[in-house]
Structure 1
Amino acid sequence: MTELLLGLSLGLGAGVTPGALLSLVIAASLRGGFRSGVRLACVPLLSDLPVVLLSLTAVGAMPGTFVRVLSAVGGLYVVYLGVSTIREARAAEPPRPGDAEPSSARQVLSAVVVNLLNPHPWLFWIAVGAPAFDAAWEHSPASALAFVGGFYLVLCGSKVALAWAVGAGRHRLSLRGYRLLLGGSGLLLTAAGAVLSFRGLAPQ
């Protein structure tokens, strides 16, 4: 029970913290509604497996610059996505009921790349997740699975809830409101990318 509660608490903190993936979920929900948003909300279930495995098995073998390079490269990619979203927002039209959703495969691929290049999942699993998992595993495999299951349940669930809220209200937005929200999500992406790049490039 303790391990499950720990996973739920850590998942909530990670799920609602502003960042690149959360901004992508907002932008996707504005463009394509709840279904588009929920696909991106569940991206950690696709992209985190190599992060978790490497963090659990090869933390000691990772070079010291690994996370810094991830941060710089990932930050630049997120900035590119943010600028693209801002440019799109200038002439974007609010979606109408029945409109076709944007390409889901491209959206999911972009989100997977962002998450893999984002140093936050790596830092979490190296510094917090892997030690907590090891401690839970020593207690019992079921405890370790409860920790991971609780973490990802709330991590993805909080983003799903946000996708529902944004997707449900997007048809009631005015043209100006829609463009402002879409542009705002682009600004959030750009800011998140700039912070990631700065952290990666800043001298230690």
Structure 2
Amino acid sequence: MRLFLEGALLGLYAALSPGPFQAYLLAQSIRNGAARTLPVALVPLTSDPPVIAVVLAALAQVPAGLLRALQVVGGAIVLWLAVTTLQGALRPEPPEARVPPRGFLRAALLNFTNPNAWIFWSAIGGPALATAWRARPADAFAFLAGFYVLLTTGNASFILLAGGAGRLGPRFQRALALVSGAALLGFGIWQVGKAARGAG
């Protein structure tokens, strides 16, 4: 139970921490509605396992060069999503012209290249998971269960709140889309700039 609660607290922290993934959830909720965006709340279940596997295989140490590469690639992806979000806000399409959303794959790519996920599993989640596994594999599964129950629940709650806010009218919906696009733009510029400073 202790490991489950420990994982749950970390999952809640991850869900509440502002970042490009949360900005993307906001943008998708506003554009496509909460019901169509809810599956994106499960993205960490698909994008995190490779991160965890690499971190544990490397004994919870992620090389600085890999982090810089992820910052560049991830920053470029965030900037691309920012441009598409801002374009959608400035030139909204009529409902009949919209194509089915590809939010899940984009979110998985965004989350996998997010250096914050690699840093978290390298510095906090990975060591805790490895310690729990050495003590008893069931403890490791309890830790992961607590983490992902709170993380996905927090993501889903955020999507529902954002989707509800998006129903306040087209003007408010456009303003929220502009805010989420600007947030993505800021995260992308910061991420690429941080990688450039680290390489200099």
- TM-score normalised by structure 2 residue count: 0.91
How far did residue 11 of structure 1 move?
0.6
Native 8 Å contact 1:7 1:148 kept in 2 = yes
How far did residue 136 of structure 1 move?
1.0
- TM-score normalised by structure 1 residue count: 0.89
Matched, 1:118 2:114: yes
Residue type of the alignment partner of 1:174: G
Residue type of the alignment partner of 1:103: P
Q: State how far apart, in whole Å, the 2-side matches of 1:100 and 1:36 are.
A: 16
Secondary structure of 1:103's match? coil
Question: In the alignment, what sits opposite 1:42?
Answer: 42
Residue type of the alignment partner of 1:22: Q
Percent identity for Structure 1 against Structure 2: 36
Question: In the alignment, what sits opposite 2:31?
Answer: 31
Gaps of 5+ in 1: none
Gaps of 5+ in 2: none
How far did residue 62 of structure 1 move?
5.2
Q: 1:103 aligns with which of 91, 95, 100?
A: 100
Question: In the alignment, what sits opposite 1:75?
Answer: 75
CA 1:123–1:60: 2 relative to 1, 3 Å: closer
Which 4+ stretches in 1 moved above 6 angstroms?
none
Q: State how far apart, in whole Å, the 2-side matches of 1:59 and 1:134 are.
A: 9
How far did residue 35 of structure 1 move?
2.4
Matched, 1:141 2:137: yes
Residue type of the alignment partner of 1:192: F
Q: State how far apart, in whole Å, the 2-side matches of 1:169 and 1:45 are.
A: 26
Residue type of the alignment partner of 2:48: D
How far did residue 64 of structure 1 move?
2.9
Native 8 Å contact 2:68 2:198 kept in 1 = no
